[in-house]
């Protein structure tokens, strides 16, 4: 058990380092919207989702309704449910139900990628080592970002405020340059967002529902126009069959 935990903690170090920098930006953004550092830290500790948290505080700041906030978070974070279902096939057969719930809570994109690439069953101890450092780093980065935001001059606060947009551009550009399908969906999403901002009827729709509509519309059109060829996917070899069922 100790060996698995240590191995998971070792594998989590690059993730924890990356999470600190991103969550620092989230803390800055939350503080700029009037959210105190402790509240920001609690948000990060109980959510652990970058895109969901950034979108969430934007909607909260805009005074959106609970239904808008709920639907936006559901759409943005739906992938975590799918990833947890996939990860469950890699978990040790001795993993208990309550342990599966805890693992699902900390199952992010990067943690999922590391866990499923392991060449043997994933134990609860390994997942604890893999998840705890990134969660603590994510929370600590948020607290420090929110705290130092209040100490920085206004012009520096404004400059740091655009770091979020730079982060999203850095995430989107590499796959968009490599795959025309991704580029097409990105351009379509940009066009739809501009429409919801300036067109007479669409601009009356609130920000929360605009995000929901654009996400569903562009993702749906992308899946329809650029379907994935499942026959060429190596996913089938990713999880070998076990002799005994769970």
Q: Is the pLDDT of residue 163 over 90?
A: no
Q: Cα(215)–Cα(72) distance, rounded to whole angstroms?
A: 9
Predicted pLDDT at 161: 61
The H-or-E segment that residue 206 falls in is none
**Confidence category of residue 151, pLDDT binned at 50, 70, 90:** confident
Outline where DSSP puts E strands in the chain.
none
Predicted pLDDT at 132: 97
Q: Is the pLDDT of residue 105 over 70?
A: yes
pTM score, whole prediction: 0.71
User: For the segment 176-232, what is each residue's pLDDT rounded down to a tens digit?
Assistant: 888 888 899 989 989 999 999 899 888 888 776 887 888 888 888 988 988 866 554
Contact status, residue 39 vs residue 27, Cβ threshold 8 Å = no
Predicted pLDDT at 241: 44
Predicted pLDDT at 230: 55
For 93, phi then psi, to 5°, come to -65, -15
> What average pLDDT does the structure give for the chain?
84
């Amino acid at each position: 058990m100790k060996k698995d935990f240590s191995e998971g903690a070792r594998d989590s170090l690059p993730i924890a380092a990356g999470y600190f920098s991103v969550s620092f930006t989230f803390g800055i953004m939350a503080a700029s919207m009037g959210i105190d550092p402790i509240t920001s830290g609690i948000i990060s500790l109980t959510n652990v989702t970058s895109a969901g948290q950034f979108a969430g505080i934007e909607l909260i700041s805009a005074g959106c309704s609970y239904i808008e906030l709920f639907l936006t978070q559901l759409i943005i974070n739906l992938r975590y449910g799918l990833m947890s279902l996939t990860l469950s096939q890699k978990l040790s057969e001795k993993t208990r139900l309550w342990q599966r719930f805890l693992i699902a809570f900390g199952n992010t994109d990067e943690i999922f990628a590391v866990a499923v690439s392991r060449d043997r069953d994933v134990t609860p101890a390994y997942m604890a080592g893999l998840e705890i450092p990134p969660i603590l780093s994510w929370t600590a980065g948020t607290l420090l970002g929110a705290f130092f935001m209040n100490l920085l001059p206004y012009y520096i606060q404004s400059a740091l405020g655009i770091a979020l947009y730079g982060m999203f551009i850095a995430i989107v550009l590499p796959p968009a340059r490599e795959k025309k399908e991704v580029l097409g969906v990105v351009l379509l999403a940009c066009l739809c967002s501009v429409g919801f901002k300036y067109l007479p009827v669409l601009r009356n729709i609130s920000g929360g529902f605009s995000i929901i509509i654009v996400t569903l519309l562009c993702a749906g059109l992308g899946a329809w126009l650029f379907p994935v060829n499942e026959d060429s996917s190596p996913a089938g070899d990713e999880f070998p069959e076990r002799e005994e069922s769970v």
